[in-house]
Structure 1
Amino acid sequence: MSSSLIWNNLLTYSLQIGLLVGLAAFVPALLRLRLPGARLIYLQVLLAACLLLPAVQPWKHEVADTNLGVSTSVVVVQQAPAGHRRSLPWPQIGLALLAAGVMTRLAWLAVGFRRLGRYRRHARRLGLRNGCPTWLSDEISSPVTFGFRHPVVLLPARFPEMDRAMREAILCHELLHVERRDWIFTVIEELVRAVFWFHPAIWWVLGEIQLAREQAVDREVVVRTQAREEYVDALLEIAGAGLQPEMAPAPAPLFLRRRHLKERVVSIFKEVQMSKTRLISTLAIGLGILVAACWLVTGTLPLAAAPQVVNDAPGVTVDIGASTLMHRTAVIYPEAARRNHVQGTVVLEATLDSSGNVSDARVISGPAELRRAALDSVLQWHFANGAAGATRQVTIGFQLEEGVAAPDRSRGLIPAGLAGLAGRTLKGIAVVGLSDRARDELLARLPAHEGDTMTPEWIAKVEQAVRDFDEHLRLSGVQVSQTEARLGITAPSSPPPPPVPATAAPGAPSRIKIGGAVQQSKLISQPHPIYPPEAKAERIQGVVKLSAIIGKDGAIQTLEVISGHPLLVPSALEAVKQWRYETTLLNGQPVEVVTQIDVNYTLSQ
């Protein structure tokens, strides 16, 4: 997955979180969910939903055709700059800044842990209460509780001077935090804050969770001590003594945060009662609304998975409109049609079953010599589940290209029969032709791990797991030594996987043509051409078409002129040869890219 795709997904994910929190924030007030404990549960589920959005939503899968010609267009106007500017890699810069912010917040959190340790070392032992040691510290102004296995309650130095009822209320509050294991949740929340330091919606949710937690503890303290006024007096006493500045992120629940004082006092005096039936039903409705909001947000702003690579024959273009494919087979240009110079466009209508597989297809129009190849490919396509039960129109273009031979798909590794691999040790599993997300999901479902002994029963289970995941995938095996074997799982359009990870598949292409959307996103430096003064004076404008070979390092290797005015061609060549692209990978190996670049010279009016 490229840095640009990661950055775009991060922006989309941030928008998803903002929209989800914006929609869900009004639910407690709408449903009158005022009980602090119930509100705390709802907010924690909301936070979990924000964090799990990438895992629970369907990702938008694009199929990248590595054999399509691409035309990269550049418009050069009369006021074109005289110098060349190198575009900044903004996605890389943005990701680096976000990572630096995360590291800074984590370092700040580590400082908070050290500060708590220092408070504990300098504190004086006060006693033991309910099995939990209490300590007096001159360095804090508000009680604080921290620790998991050996929790500690730190109290301000003036604690013994307070009224006895106030002391009991404060101790009850802190011991409730110990009983509820609140310190664990506080640390997790501060880690979330460190990762999402840039997102105001996450900060708001975390603040509301802290307030709801303290209000829930306040409510329980009042129930246990029956000392409402004394407890409020304790809150006001701590606040009146002057709270220390909150050195966030504080990795421990403080007895009182300045911004929460008013809400907590109001909550203590406002007796909220909800029957168990009403509480359960209100929470269920609230969580149902939250699920609907998640569905709405992820459907409106889906994340994009890395595109699947499909090796169509040279000269073949595929258009599926706004539909989404899980995977598809490559489209072959029939040799007979190529020899007879038959080209054209085939339009098909595909009917999908309940799983998104193409169950039937018919040709609407197109040359007779090309229909069978298009139909055979489309019948093996698998659309996203969102399109199940519908019909989709597919347009496949066949265009002859001079000097480009059809790829030799007969070469490559011939997999050994799986039955002949019984008794050998699994060396590894290669998955080819699926996106990173689909590959990881498939490997997680397989009952196979490196080092397993490949028995017939074991092979049958693996075959069944692969079929359950996607019936179009092919499982193959190859013996790599006398005692070891390797499995390969291949999408229908992909070449067979290599037996050794470090070695490219036999016959793998070292030079490919790549789809426009995929290659255009890899452009990282694009100096603009200079409009030639002679052409400008003679009011010459038009398009210079160039055929380019992009090297494995992303630099332009060769340029050939296809067409263009003689006065415009030198300017286009001079600019385009300085362009730089991200390295293009095919099955993990860098490859050269053949593409067409159009430079459009237009005089401004």
Structure 2
Amino acid sequence: MKISILVLVALCATRLLRNQSAAQRHWILAVAIVCAGVLPMLELLVPAWPLSIGSPSFAELTLPSHPAAATERTSTFSADRITRQAGAPVVGSARDAVRGWSTRSILALMWIAGVAMGLLVLVLGLIRLAWLRSRARPVTLANWTTLSEQIAREYGLRHPVRVLQSDDSSLLATWGVVSPTIMIPGGAERWPDDLVGMVLSHELAHIRRGDWIVQISAELVRSMYWFNPLVWLACRRLRLESEHACDDAVLRSGVDSSAYASHLLGLARAFNHRHPLFPAPAMARSSSLHKRVTAMLNDRQNRSPMSPFARVATVMALAVIAGTIAAAQVFATFSGSLVDPQGAALPGVRVTLSNAERQIKYDAQTNRRGEFEIVGLPPGDYVFEVQVPGFKPYRAALTMTGDNARRAITLEIGSVAEEIVIAGDGDSSSRAVQTASPRPNPPCPSTAATADVPIGGNIRPPNKIRDVRPQYPASVRGTGADATIVLDALIGTDGFLKDVRVREPANREFANALLAAVNQWQYDSTLLNCVPIEVAVTITGRFVHGR
């Protein structure tokens, strides 16, 4: 967007200065394109300043919820001692990360492919210029050499100019900086002296103005921003204005405009073959001929060259504009709300938004309505995280592009984990043990609401009140066999396990031994806001043949 603004400013300026000289318009476009090329580096150097565009508007985001962990309660049976501890967070799957980056990766690959294609075309064009130069022959005709030296002295050129002739009868172009070259077509030795003088004046004007290196720089910038139509338009206008400026240089030397236009039309008819992959100014391009002839025949057209002061002033003005655009940062706001599965607000929850590239982190806390707001966010990629005891931690990728964003987030209830170690040489009896008495239901706080939003997040985790110890299977006792069995289940609202599933692969004898025990377990109710709920549980049984 910043590149588009800078280029658009230059294009508008050239439009407003349409009555000024082509040299001035060309210089504005050239400086603007160079500034566009270095704008990414300016963004790293100049300090940022906030820019607010329009009134706040909230764009609803679809953020994938990546539960980074479950709130776990681990029970480990070691002899007759039970130890309970909180589980550690588990990082989300790599598949989620790949899915989150897929669109961005595709866009990056498309941009790289476009840049590579643009650079390839430019390199092939430069190779073609070198090939043409190697096959061309020096021009030794007196009228060409004499006029070339005379006009070069008038223009004040410091480097010697090579005039070469190609066998191609439709090729007339100029390129080079240290060792500039003018390539004339086959048959040019038969041209009259007045046409030779006009052609040399035009081509040597390109060399004096440095048009070739400017055009190559523009081609590089266009390769980087190949997806931006404004950059393409600016490069096209740059080439056209360079031809206009050189036409003005020829006419300032005293050449009759009608005669010059007539010769230019004759060259265009002779050079009706277009040369692809040719990164050099061409005098008689048919695509720009109408506008150029119209400008030549306009006696009121401003043809004055650009003064050094005007050049410096233009550079300073566009540099200030580019620096201002580079420093401008569009800051946005990310806001939202947190609720539990019952839709009740979660007040006083800390939320974080971090940007790894900038190494910054933003913190906020939800209000009594469960709402949060993080302001002053520059464009970039962020990670949004929420951790609340009893709930699954929430983690989501977020890309801010300058627009305000809002997200309503429902946190999921955490799960429970039980781990049991069953020794083969332990007690072989299986009996139920009353581990605790059922807890009385806590007094429910009044469902005070702020603007009809109930307050939630009150979780009472399950507590085992009846335990049955799994037994090492007698059929494999003494064989030295070990096994790990993992069960997934739900703790129902009545406290018993339901929907018990064995994770495969699993040894059936060990799995049956674990199932026989856990199906007799009982918990007291898990409560959310004083309402019994079901909660997921993972039970891991580790069978070892000895202590």
Normalised by the length of structure 2, the TM-score is 0.48
If you compute each CA radius of gyration, which structure gives the higher value, 1 or 2? Answer: 2
Normalised by the length of structure 1, the TM-score is 0.44
